[in-house]
Structure 1
Amino acid sequence: MVDLSPDRLPVAVIGAGPVGLAAAAHLAERSVPFVVVEAGDAAAAAVRAWSHIQLFSPWEFNTDPAARRLLAAAGWDEPDASALPTGGDLVKQYLQPLAELPTLAPHIRYGAEVTAISRLGIDRLRTAGRESAPFVVRLAAGEELLARAVIDASGTWRQPNHLGANGLPAHGEQEAAAWINHGLPDVFGADRDQHAGRHTVVVGAGHSAANTLLALAELADTAPGTTITWAIRGADPAASFGGGSDDELPARGAIGSGLKMLVDTGRVTLAANFRTYAVRPLGDDPTHDQVELTSRGPDGTEQVLTADRIVAATGFRPDYHIADELRLELDPIMSAPRALAPLIDPNQHSCGTVTPHGYRELAHPEPGYYAVGMKSYGRAPTFLMLTGYEQVRSIAAAFAGDMESARSVELQLPETGVCSVTAGGEALALRLGLTKEQHEQLLHVTAKHLGTSATASDAVLSAATELGIDHTAALQLAAYAAEMFDQPGASGC
């Protein structure tokens, strides 16, 4: 007979990504039994899918304290806190070693996709005995696990938003799926042939769109015929340019500043007020034939773009279908826990201005169920890993009965407005593969050319040519700290 006593059953953690593994680390430290179920065949499957992307937050914001303690005890060589990792670095240097620790590894099951969660012998309608009934976690193979509680860190990666401006799939979107990349294509690696020498339309206005646009602009420098259009729903892309040199995460500010320079110099064509309504393949072969995007405004005005490839950088959304038999209270706008939603509303907050929150704000009417990490943020795109780490620290403390620690939620996030221009320029230079010396030389030579150039951009390009520096990289560096030069719109780092 199975012992159904709550203290005998494990906490089920869904997902072995950064936040799921952090939850496991905190539970392990507190000697709370747990099991991690991961749909992929290895830890951090979603991160591996964007392993080519460099994060805009340094290592210090990407590792969890409990995980660091467990790794350090095993002789882990901690990365430089100020360095900017790629997704691949995050997996190789942190997440994979964490998942392989003897404290965690025996409790992680791979290839275990969760298809449903409920209570043992109780559906969503029944209240009597609900709180004491174990959770039932059903896997795709039919097996069911019993758990005292559930931490759902399954993320949103497998649930991208649609191209349609109204949140629905654009007409013809499914039929045109072979022409569409979601998320962050590897334009220098596996996906290069899809974009080199071709016209790509990037739809979206967030950091994913900016990253892809910057990468495509660099590709265009070495692949003639590569052209880029950026389609946004709004009239003004200024919000996508972010805090620039005032951003406490230099690489995040650099992304927006670099994108602004690419638009200003015509390297990226802006299609504003583009509300995708329909997508139509203009042939049967996505390797040769083009695809047509149609925008339809509220007044019926139409715009049409023809492309070889579409990148849908439209974000992701949570999928709560596995919790249909649980009693959840989600904000009707954000699809986040109701108490958390106003704290993360992207209309009011960036990822650096989120109020600290823990088990109380993440709670639902279903006792013992918590969605954490990206999934907890619903439709909000303002999530940082550090936020998820604090979420699971608080929840693990609550499961361990340490309510004082669970309630004491502290979170120091990087905000816009307090970072030095020089540090930001150096961070971006490293991101673009330039040395500190090349960065300093570009500053010096650009200043020399400012007096004889028609525009600051011309001065930057002249300096880049003189130094043999890639033009697109130089423009991104220059845009990041334009205020360092006196004339309006001047560029430099």
Structure 2
Amino acid sequence: MSHPVAVIGAGPFGLSTAAHLKARGIPVRVFGDPMVSWRDHMPAGMLLKSTPVASSIDAPQPGHRLADYCDAAGIKRLVTDEDIIPVETFIGYGEWFRDRLVPELEQVRVVSVDRHTAGGFELKLDSGELFTARAVVVATGLSSLAHLPAELAEAVPEGPAPTGPVSHSSQEHDLTRYAGKDLIVVGAGQSALETAALAAEAGAQVRVVSRGRGKVAFGAPPWKQPRLRPESPFGRAWSLWALSSYPHPYRHLPAAARHYLVRRVLGPLGAWWLRDRFQGKVQVSEVDRIVRADASEGSPRLTVRTLAGRPEDLSADHVIAATGYRVDIAAMDFLGHGLRTRLAVSRGTPRLGAGYVSSVPGLYFTGLPAAASYGPVMRFVCGTEFASPRLAAHLAASHGQTGAPGTGRG
């Protein structure tokens, strides 16, 4: 029997990729905790900013979209731009998708991946098993990529933690524990604004600190979207339509342009439905920058430079950094040192060619690590529709195995 392909990660991109590989008759072993980032690293009560059209996991055959899950689960169909998706519903959808298309998922952790002397890759699992894979797909999502700015990191040299003075938003699942406390949330994106609103609703006194260009703002509701522009999963705009419909030319742009667009397109902006829950309930301090953070006396204190250029101190019982994620190959410590040193990278992200393959033949990346090569659509679940069938087709062709192609339409 030929060596299988290993898919590392069991979120939307990992599950979608595995389903497409299986549909082509390619032996696959899939590793990970299904939907773990959504289940354990998002706040309870969260609602997805993405619309239903942007939230279906791509499958190689019809019948596996979010609306199909709603029908199967006997819940309200989520199909229009005005329908809002509770995170619990999305987690249930991902697990339903797994049960139907990737039931053989192995809930074990991949400890290491290295080149095998005889070709392919050697993987070690936390069960102690060693096995050889002919190719590896890294679909680990947000795991280990939480970003803490240097000015906040200096206050917690041991790292962010919910039990310490500073945490990252990915570590905050139950915000009710901040009831009656003063809380600072750093950031201006949906994660920051929704975390702040949920904490305020739980009884905390909350201040959002937005830095630099990160002004607190909210998107327009669907009925106010401009009608004379093309539709995209993210709204009506020519740029959004181009980036979501044609990701394949993106990797040919100059590196500076690619990284800029990933950072700025669909940047910090609260969902339209969050405005009423936020305004009047959460204080906002828009500052030029955070100069330093200090927690030497137990409680965190931020020294900021105001927009007027004056220093100001802000204190609280706790600081949550809703400062996003940053792809860094160095943080993917399950990849062996030899592999990491052979990878061509651009600002810490893998440089990917056609079919999502890296500079190491047989090693693929999908989801967030692919965004610098294929554009902002890779940050969202709807990116599976472009990525998964193309990755599966490239892998099959490179191993001389065509199989039955998937439709790429879930």
Please, what TM-score do these two structures have when normalized by structure 1?
0.60
**Retained in 2: the 8 A contact 1:163–1:173?**
no
1:98-247 mapped onto 2 (5 Å cutoff): 98-101=97-100, 104-106=102-104, 108-110=105-107, 112-121=108-117, 133-165=119-151, 169-174=153-158, 177=161, 178-183=164-169, 190-194=174-178, 196-219=179-202, 223=203, 226-234=204-212, 237=215, 240-242=217-219, 245-246=224-225
- What value does the CA root-mean-square deviation take over the aligned residues? 4.0
| Paired letter, 1:369 | L
Aligned residue for 2:247? none
Shift of 1:55: 0.8
Q: Partners in 1 of 2:154 and 2:310 — Cα distance?
A: 16
Aligned residue for 2:343? 328
Aligned length: 346
Match of 1:398 among 378, 390, 394: 394
Q: Aligned to 2:315, what secondary structure does the other structure show?
A: strand
Q: Aligned to 1:394, what secondary structure does the other structure show?
A: helix
Deviates more, 1:307-316 or 1:172-181: 172-181
**Retained in 2: the 8 A contact 1:164–1:276?**
no
Q: Aligned to 2:132, what secondary structure does the other structure show?
A: strand
Q: Partners in 1 of 2:408 and 2:220 — Cα distance?
A: 21
Deviation by residue 1:157-200 (Cα, 9 ceiling, x = unmatched): 333111434xx82244537742333225768xx32132x22211
Aligned residue for 2:78? 80
**Retained in 1: the 8 A contact 2:165–2:295?**
no
Shift of 1:235: 5.7
Higher-Rg structure is: 1
Shift of 1:134: 1.3
Shift of 1:61: 2.0
Match status 1:31 vs 2:25: yes
**Retained in 2: the 8 A contact 1:276–1:293?**
yes
1:296-335 mapped onto 2 (5 Å cutoff): 302-318=311-327, 319-323=331-335, 324-326=337-339, 327-332=342-347, 335=348
| Paired letter, 1:85 | I
Aligned residue for 1:275? 290
**Retained in 2: the 8 A contact 1:176–1:291?**
no
Shift of 1:209: 0.8
Deviation by residue 1:192-248 (Cα, 9 ceiling, x = unmatched): 132x222110112222112112324444xxx4xx4222112216616x545664386
| Paired letter, 2:187 | G
Which of 1 and 2 has higher RCO (CA within 8 Å, sep 6+)? Answer: 2
Shift of 1:56: 1.7
Match of 2:365 among 366, 371, 393: 371
| Paired letter, 2:285 | L
Match status 1:255 vs 2:246: no
| Paired letter, 2:85 | P
| Paired letter, 1:21 | L
**Retained in 1: the 8 A contact 2:58–2:384?**
no
**Retained in 2: the 8 A contact 1:115–1:138?**
yes
Q: Partners in 1 of 2:269 and 2:381 — Cα distance?
A: 20
Aligned residue for 1:95? 94
| Paired letter, 2:297 | L
**Retained in 2: the 8 A contact 1:176–1:281?**
no
Aligned in 2, Cα 1:159/1:262: closer, same or farther, shift over 3 Å? Answer: same
Please, what TM-score do these two structures have when normalized by structure 2?
0.71
Aligned in 2, Cα 1:276/1:256: closer, same or farther, shift over 3 Å? Answer: farther
| Paired letter, 1:268 | Q
**Retained in 2: the 8 A contact 1:200–1:310?**
yes
**Retained in 2: the 8 A contact 1:176–1:279?**
no
Aligned residue for 1:453? none
Match status 1:58 vs 2:79: no
Q: Partners in 2 of 1:105 and 1:276 — Cα distance?
A: 50
1:337-486 mapped onto 2 (5 Å cutoff): 337-338=350-351, 360=354, 362-377=356-371, 383-401=379-397
Aligned in 2, Cα 1:260/1:53: closer, same or farther, shift over 3 Å? Answer: closer
**Retained in 2: the 8 A contact 1:295–1:304?**
yes
Q: Aligned to 1:192, what secondary structure does the other structure show?
A: helix
Q: Partners in 1 of 2:91 and 2:278 — Cα distance?
A: 33
Q: Partners in 2 of 1:314 and 1:19 — Cα distance?
A: 23
Aligned in 2, Cα 1:37/1:201: closer, same or farther, shift over 3 Å? Answer: same
State, as a whole percentage, how many aligned pairs show the same letter: 24
